């Protein structure tokens, strides 16, 4: 029974790994192919089946005037919008989460849990519901088709994630830690940033990771709130798909799009595997 | 170090509701400068609430707190300069042991030399010197609790050190040594120490004065000897001492005698004015001894069992269908079946409506 379970477990892991890795291998291989190698016949092995070329990669940095697609600017736009919105969301979300975890709020029938749920509910409704209000709002304040406008919208989208994760994290940090800091001579603000916050770094990293992932992969709002002035990476990548799909540059751009998330995952994994998430204050 | 005065303090966690429940009923008390106090009582009796009120973590619903005659009721915790150690170790995980111990001094802007001197002194007392540069999170639970304790003791000018069952997670041998260290610290620095516990032995061996609490009330404050020999209520008699005080429902027989069933017991208490029906006689098992022959206050009891505890024998017997326990010298021979027990009148406590008269 035990052996059967182990075989089943490893079979599933192998299958899942193939399922996850295969598209990447396909993208890596395709990014080094040219038109002929993609469209003539099925090819797998470089130098044997096809002659590898860097053309698919080169077009990513060439300007459109020279026949390229230039994803450099959208790439940095995406980095700017994602990082700025994530940072602001984490700062505001952490403060909100600390307040929700440590103080009791009571407005009519609304209590702390209701306020936390209100934050999460922003993510429950379909994005299309928010698209028109956001469009009108940005157009009213003159921030449509601008990086700052996108940052504002992304803060609204990412802050619930930060609040949700950090409330749960702070709830697991014993209240005695704050109280000890107060007794030791901190004022409430010092207790927060000198004692509670350093103990919450694992939570901040996880919240930051989710904010970066959700900010980086968003296509919907980047698509409807920008036109010609500003373009984010997901929109640019999708726009590559024209009447003749350039699979080679599409694969290369998909790989460079995913690269930052893979780096984030490796960095965060180190913190997660240390078991630091448990709060472990006792 | 300071004299801590609690004046007409009471506290409810739901004061605005129509029927608020009071965790602490109104009381007044003074903790003298440099003394050791133990607050003793069962779980949920209000001990921790009392400590939190003194440290400022909880604001009392009513009453005033004074440190050296200066009112501090409205001062926040950081302004009170008080130390508190919780039941479970609370350490700053991201800091070293040294930084943990130095933290209260750094927060109050002590000089670097002073911080080093105090941290070294406290870490020597608590045997933490060899761990000073280790990350605090890597220490064992009892070492972590020593850090918590160290943070409480590192400030010499503190108004008082409040300890909420601080030795729960510490092994018995170290517990004994620490209690001694705490006493030494108290004698050396004249720090007012307040120690919450539900372990009567801990309270008896640690404190100059013991405060016994039950259901939000302070039922008795006194020296360990007073609490043991003259418990003010039947609760204290039952709670303090092992085994608990023998308590018998009685009727008044004369101005200094009570009846337990058909047996008359003489006491040294004046009972002439007692009209109440709810009268109990209390006698510690330590004061009851085997009598060689029948005389005043000698009762014949049926032996149920004899347990040998090494340093004494615990005799459990029946008196008028009621259980009576007595601690007997282990060398003393005990005949089988029935035995005469002597109940000394001067050690008898008479309770009317559960209160000592």
**Digit-coded pLDDT (tens) for A8-66:** 999 999 999 999 999 999 999 999 988 888 887 777 788 888 888 888 899 888 887 77
CA dist., res. A133 & res. B306, Å (int): 85
The alpha carbon of residue B204 is apart from the nearest alpha carbon of chain A, in Å, by 27
The CATH number given to whatever domain includes residue B249 is: 2.40.50.140
pLDDT value of position A281: 39
Half-sphere exposure of B25 (CA within 13 A, CB side): 8
CA B222 to chain centre: 10
Beta strand spans in B192-297 (E): 193-197, 209-214, 217-222, 246-252, 257-260, 263-266, 279-283, 289-290
Residues B147 and B284 in one domain: no
Residues A81 and A190 in one domain: yes
The CATH number given to whatever domain includes residue B91 is: 3.40.50.300
pLDDT in tens, B6-41: 999 999 988 888 888 899 999 999 999 989 999 998
Structural domain contains residue A256:
no
Nearest Cα neighbor of B126 from B98, B86, B94, B96 is B98
Comparing B21-30, B105-114, B166-175, B237-246, the range with the smallest average pLDDT is B166-175
- Specify the number of domains making up chain A: 2
Please provide residue B24's backbone torsions phi and psi, each rounded to the nearest 5 degrees: -135, 125
Whether residue B66 is predicted with pLDDT greater than 90 in this model: the reply is yes
Residues A12 and A134 in one domain: no
Domain termination site, one of A18, A39, A66: A66
Residues A127 and A202 in one domain: yes
pLDDT value of position A279: 41
Q: Is B91 on the interface with A (CB under 8 A)?
A: yes
CA dist., res. B196 & res. B55, Å (int): 14
Structural domain contains residue A118:
yes
Domain termination site, one of B177, B202, B234: B234
Residues B263 and B312 in one domain: yes
What is the full per-residue pLDDT of chain A (282 aa) written as tens digits? 689 999 999 999 999 999 999 999 999 999 998 888 888 777 778 888 888 888 889 988 888 777 778 899 999 999 999 999 999 999 999 999 999 999 999 888 999 999 999 988 888 888 899 999 999 999 999 999 999 999 999 999 999 999 999 999 899 888 889 999 999 999 989 999 999 998 888 889 989 999 999 999 999 999 999 998 999 999 999 888 877 788 889 999 999 999 999 999 888 887 766 544 444 333
Between residues B138 and B173, the one the model is more confident about: B138
Residue A75, both tokens: 């790439």
- Mean pLDDT (chain B) is 89
**Torsion of the alpha carbons at B107, B126, B91 and A275, rounded to the nearest 10:** 140
pLDDT value of position A274: 53
Residue A25, both tokens: 């291998």
Contacting residues of A for B76, CB less than 8 Å apart: 182, 187
Cβ B78–A187 below 8 Å, yes or no?
A: yes
Residues B219 and B256 in one domain: no
Residues A17 and A92 in one domain: no
Domain termination site, one of B234, B261, B276: B234
Residues B230 and B253 in one domain: no
Cβ B90–A281 below 8 Å, yes or no?
A: yes
Residues A157 and A212 in one domain: yes
Residues A187 and A114 in one domain: yes
pLDDT in tens, B193-248: 999 988 888 888 888 899 999 999 999 999 988 999 999 999 999 988 888 999 99
The CATH number given to whatever domain includes residue A117 is: 1.10.3720.10
Residues A189 and A273 in one domain: yes
Residues B164 and B17 in one domain: yes
CA dist., res. A60 & res. A259, Å (int): 15
Residues A45 and A113 in one domain: no
Domain termination site, one of A66, A86, A105: A66
Residue B62, both tokens: 């009513």
Residues A189 and A95 in one domain: yes
pLDDT value of position B95: 92
Contacting residues of B for A201, CB less than 8 Å apart: 94
Name the residue among A176, A186, A282 with its Cβ closest to that of B78. A186
> What residues make up the domain containing B127?
4-234
Structural domain contains residue A142:
yes
Residues B227 and B344 in one domain: no
Domain termination site, one of B208, B234, B260: B234
Residues B215 and B269 in one domain: no
Residues B206 and B320 in one domain: no
Residue B68, both tokens: 């050296």
Candidates A172, A176, A182, A183: best to mutate against B (most CBs of B within 10 A) is A183
Q: Is B86 on the interface with A (CB under 8 A)?
A: yes
CA dist., res. B25 & res. A247, Å (int): 79
Residues B54 and B133 in one domain: yes
Report the SS3 class of residue B356.
Answer: strand
ipTM above 0.95, yes or no: no
Residues A30 and A94 in one domain: no
With CA atoms as reference, the chain A residue closest to B57 would be A179
Segment B244-270 mean pLDDT: 90
Name the residue among A182, A187, A198 with its Cβ closest to that of B94. A198
Cβ B148–A180 below 8 Å, yes or no?
A: yes
The pTM for the full model equals 0.77
Domain termination site, one of A38, A66, A94: A66
Residues A104 and A205 in one domain: yes
- Specify the number of domains making up chain B: 2
Please provide residue B342's backbone torsions phi and psi, each rounded to the nearest 5 degrees: -105, 125
Question: Within a 10 A sphere around the Cβ of A183, how many other Cβ atoms?
Answer: 29
User: Is the Cβ–Cβ distance between B48 and B123 less than 8 Å?
Assistant: no
Structural domain contains residue A45:
yes
Structural domain contains residue A191:
yes
Report the SS3 class of residue A258.
Answer: helix
Residues B260 and B197 in one domain: no
- % pLDDT > 70, chain B: 100
> What residues make up the domain containing A143?
72-248+264-278
pLDDT value of position A275: 47
Residues B70 and B203 in one domain: yes
Cβ A185–B78 below 8 Å, yes or no?
A: yes
Residues A86 and A33 in one domain: no
Residues of A with CB under 8 A from a CB of B: 174, 176-177, 179-180, 182-187, 190, 195, 198-199, 201, 280-282
What contacts B293, CB < 8 A, 6 or more positions away? Answer: B340
Contacting residues of A for B83, CB less than 8 Å apart: 183
Nearest Cα neighbor of A216 from A124, A93, A91, A79 is A79
Name the residue among A190, A198, A282 with its Cβ closest to that of B88. A282
């Amino acid at each position: 029974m035990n052996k059967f379970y182990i075989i089943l477990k490893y079979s599933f892991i192998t299958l899942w790994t193939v399922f996850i890795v295969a598209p990447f291998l396909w993208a890596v291989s395709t990014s080094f192919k040219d038109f002929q190698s993609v469209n003539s016949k099925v090819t797998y092995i470089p130098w044997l089946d096809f002659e590898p070329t860097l053309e698919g990669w080169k077009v990513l940095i060439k300007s459109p005037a020279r026949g390229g697609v230039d994803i450099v600017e959208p790439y940095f736009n995406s980095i700017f919008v994602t990082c700025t919105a994530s940072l602001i969301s984490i700062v505001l979300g952490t403060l909100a989460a600390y307040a929700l975890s440590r103080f009791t709020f009571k407005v009519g029938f609304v209590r702390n849990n209701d306020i936390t749920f209100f934050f999460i509910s922003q993510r429950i409704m379909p994005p299309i519901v928010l698209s028109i209000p956001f469009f009108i709002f940005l157009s009213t304040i003159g921030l449509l088709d601008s990086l700052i406008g996108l940052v504002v919208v992304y803060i609204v989208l990412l802050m619930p994630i930060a609040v949700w994760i950090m409330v749960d994290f702070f709830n697991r940090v014993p209240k005695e830690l704050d109280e000890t800091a107060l007794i030791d001579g901190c004022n409430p603000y010092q207790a927060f940033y000198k004692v509670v916050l350093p103990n919450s770094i694992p939570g901040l990293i996880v919240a930051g990771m989710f904010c970066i992932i959700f900010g980086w992969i968003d296509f919907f709002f980047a698509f409807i709130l920008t036109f010609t002035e500003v373009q984010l990476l997901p929109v640019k990548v999708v726009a590559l798909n024209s009447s003749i799909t350039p699979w080679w540059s599409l694969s290369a751009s998909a790989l460079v799009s995913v690269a930052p998330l893979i780096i984030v995952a490796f960095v965060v994994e180190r913190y997660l595997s240390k078991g630091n998430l448990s709060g472990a204050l006792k | 170090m300071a004299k801590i005065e609690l004046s007409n303090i009471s506290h409810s966690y739901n004061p605005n509701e129509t029927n608020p429940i009071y965790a602490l009923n109104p009381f007044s008390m003074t903790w003298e400068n440099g003394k050791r106090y133990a607050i003793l009582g069962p779980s949920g009796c209000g001990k921790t609430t009392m400590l939190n009120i003194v440290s400022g973590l909880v604001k009392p619903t009513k009453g005033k707190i004074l440190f050296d005659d200066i009112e501090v009721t409205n001062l926040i915790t950081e302004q009170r300069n008080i130390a508190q150690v919780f039941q479970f170790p609370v350490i700053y995980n991201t800091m070293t042991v040294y930084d943990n111990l130095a933290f209260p001094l750094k927060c109050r802007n002590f000089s670097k030399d002073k911080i080093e001197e105090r941290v070294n002194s406290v870490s020597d007392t608590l045997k933490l010197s060899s761990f000073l540069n280790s990350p605090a999170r890597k220490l064992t639970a009892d070492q972590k609790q020593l850090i918590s304790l160290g943070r409480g003791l590192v400030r010499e000018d503190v108004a008082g050190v409040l300890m909420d069952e601080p030795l729960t997670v510490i092994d018995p041998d170290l517990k004994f040594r620490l209690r001694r260290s705490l006493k030494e610290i108290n004698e050396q620095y004249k720090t007012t120490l307040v120690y919450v516990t539900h372990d009567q032995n801990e309270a008896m061996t640690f404190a100059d004065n013991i405060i016994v609490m039950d259901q939000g009330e302070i039922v008795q404050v006194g020296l360990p000897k007073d609490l043991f020999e003259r418990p003010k209520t039947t609760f204290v008699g039952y709670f303090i001492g092992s085994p608990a005080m023998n308590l018998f429902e009685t009727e008044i027989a004369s101005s200094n005698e009570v009846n337990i069933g058909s047996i008359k017991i003489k006491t040294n208490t004046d009972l002439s004015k007692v009209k109440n029906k709810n009268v109990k006689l209390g006698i510690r098992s330590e004061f009851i001894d085997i009598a060689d022959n029948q005389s005043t206050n000698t009762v014949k009891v049926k032996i149920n069992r004899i347990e040998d505890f090494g340093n004494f024998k615990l005799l459990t017997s029946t008196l008028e269908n009621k259980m009576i326990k007595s601690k007997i010298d282990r060398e003393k021979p005990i005949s089988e079946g029935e035995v005469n027990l002597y109940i000394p009148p001067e050690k008898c406590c008479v309770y009317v409506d559960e209160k000592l008269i």
